Amino acid sequence: MSQASPTSPSRLVIASRESALAMWQAEHIRDRLRALYPQTEVSILGMTTQGDQILNVTLSKIGGKGLFVKELETALEDGRADLAVHSLKDVPMVLPEGFVLAAIGEREDPHDAFVSNQYANLSELPPGSVVGTSSLRRESQLRARFPHLKIEPLRGNVQTRLRKLDEGQYAAIILAAAGLKRLGLGERIRGIISSEDSLPAVGQGALGIECRADRADVIAALQPLHHAPTAACVLAERAMSRRLAGSCQVPLGGFAEVQGDKLRMRGFVATPDGKRMLRAEFTGDIADPEALGNKIADALLAQGAGEILAALNG
């Protein structure tokens, strides 16, 4: 692997959003590729996406997470870039025709993080405390378990969200632990929220590397970055979400963990106010993760998830 070969193109261009976290992720993959293929010139094409530009409206109202991906896919399509690095939780469950997730990187901490300057955890927050989150998934679970708290929308990149907390706009905010740790901001985490209190988002903490399906050279070059245990977990989670037609408009979570040669997976669908919460849990074969995800989805649909989804998408 130390010299240019059929599996290492002479140059690779990585498309990335320009937020600090997205650039960290792109630089991480760039450095891994440079170490694998010293003869390959690896560079980053920074781009601003529609999701980065519209900050005054919640994501669910402007079309969802796909807004962070589309411009990057256009750069892949027209040859300006060879691969794109995404937070997997931002990647729509069905990729456009002609694109493929060539590799899924090893997962960072998948949990949600409690961030506050005054309080140690959610239980300490007094009634009426304002908690910031941009996620319907987090909001529904918080409302179900802590109905006395006031949940308010929180948009912007990680640094913007922390600044709003520091300015006193919120008593606490909930962020993905992975993003804080990757940005070297782990000391801001007051506590990791257990998956019992806040089941993570589908794909949370994992990196997805996308390229065109016809780029066999890029797909081959990315294989050493693929982490099979992470991939099994997130494929199960994404299968559940796909079956449920999950999007930003839907409060749902799915979280799979490797246990020996098995996968344990939990999933939920809820109303945004948290008053109706449907849950399912199964263990399945790690070799067939999508079957497990579909089984969770079917169990949730059998409990009435379809009605919740229809009402939200109506």
User: Taking a C-beta distance cutoff of 8 angstroms, is the pair 201, 109 a contact?
Assistant: no
Pairwise CA distance, residues 85 & 68, whole Å: 11
One of 82, 90, 109, 197 is an active-site residue; which one? 90
CA distance 280 to 306: 14
Q: What is the rounded CA–CA span in Å between residue 268 and residue 197?
A: 12
How far is the C-alpha of 289 from the C-alpha of 275, rounded, in Å? 30
Are 254 and 265 in contact, with CB atoms under 8 Å apart?
yes
Structure tokens at 177: 């632990």
| Catalytic status, residue 298 | no
Q: How many angstroms from the chain centroid is the CA of residue 287?
A: 22
What DSSP state is assigned to residue 235? Answer: H
Which of these, 229, 184, 203, lies nearest to 23 by C-alpha position?
184
**Distance separating the N- and C-terminal Cα atoms of the chain:** 52
DSSP string, 35-87: HH-TTSEEEEEEE--HHHH--SS-HHHHT-GGGGTHHHHHHHHTTS-SEEEEE
| Burial category of 218 from C-beta neighbours within 10 Å (exposed 0-12, middle 13-18, buried 19 and up) | buried
Q: Which residues are catalytic?
A: 90
